[in-house]
Structure 1
Amino acid sequence: MSDTVLIPGGRDVRATLDTAASDGGESKRDGDARADAVVVACPPHPQQRGHRGDERLTAASDALTDRGIDCLRFDYGDWDEGYGESTDADNAVSWAVERYERVGLFGFSFGATVALVTAASRPGLAGVCALAPTARLNPDVDAVAALDGLVDLGVPTRILYATRDSTADWEPVVERAEELGVETQAFESDHFFVGRAADVGETVAAFFGPRLGGDM
């Protein structure tokens, strides 16, 4: 089951909340009832047609809801060179924190960098998983620097990357993650994980499952 959500804040940010199904196939939601945990999913670059219906985000959502974890996929507001988009992610996390006991953060490409930077100021997050992050969106949205903050906060973090990725500047992120002891995982793929979306989704859900209390 999916619902449209308007994220509070000064920007027009709309989201889709995918809710987990119970064993009987019915939505866990009953009025205000919902799963105990949610993952907020950040889409890729909005100027490159990135949106909340991205194949990698929907694959992750499908795998998460199968494990009893809700997923909030959102679209950014008007383009703001990474600044407003980071604010959008933080506002989406705020919305989730008010409604769920445990919250995780996931993003792909541009959204992966947004997720890492946002998570670095959120000590209560259950985890952050970044798929094909680029090192920097602007001077203040820096995934490499965010990794140090995440380690200091003790937020569980995993970096997923593609070995044939020639689109994102992912190498500095992976190198710093490995220096810090942050988990990384490689896919034999290109930046868009063509034909691997389901594998990506399962990998993301496997990371969040034990941290968010979902089914294994």
Structure 2
Amino acid sequence: MRRSLTTTVAMVTTTLTLLATAGTAHAGSWTHRDARGDVFRSSMSDDAVATADPADRTADITRFSVRHSTRKVTLTLSLRDLRSGDSMLVSRVVTPQNEYELAILRSSDLRMFSLVDTAAESEELTCRGKRASYDTRRDRIRITIPRTCLGSPTWVRAGAGYARGNAFSSDENASLAFDEALRRGSKRAANSEAPLKVGKKVRVG
């Protein structure tokens, strides 16, 4: 008996879909577009006041995305003009059971990548497989954290901030430009008591 055209098309469509997805790891994802020109700058003095610096492109975050697959959590930060030099990226990752702080410091003589469990009295975690890549051609920073380092959560919420400048300089004129990914304007980020804002829940995909 001849199959109807509708049935045949449906079977072909289903088969192609299965072939296209076979062996592919799916992931939940979320992206936020940050305002441009909302960089703030502060000197390194104790009584410094943060002031807007909309002309700065090197610390200006334009997009932040979170991707949550069965094996890893990937955070991607896009900037207007990513350059080499002294910088620090900080991130806050919230899970159903815990909260983590991530810091990546890069300078001419220092590379540091720390992941801290904030619920365990700021204990730094040993996390094999975590890594960060800086792509100045694409103006992009990508951070990868194995899910096992975060307790294999069902969902994550994350936020990030980026600062650029000579944080180690003893020069009283040294300054730091900074931006927070999920807030328009980053003056609040200068307050160490204000936690980074986190985005929506991204469930494992």
Bin the TM-score by the shorter chain.
under 0.3
TM-score, normalised with respect to structure 2: 0.27
Structure with a larger share of its residues in helix: 1
Structure of greater Rg:
2
Structure of higher RCO (CA pairs closer than 8 Å, 6+ residues apart): 2
Q: Give TM-score, length-normalised by structure 1.
A: 0.26
Higher strand share: 2
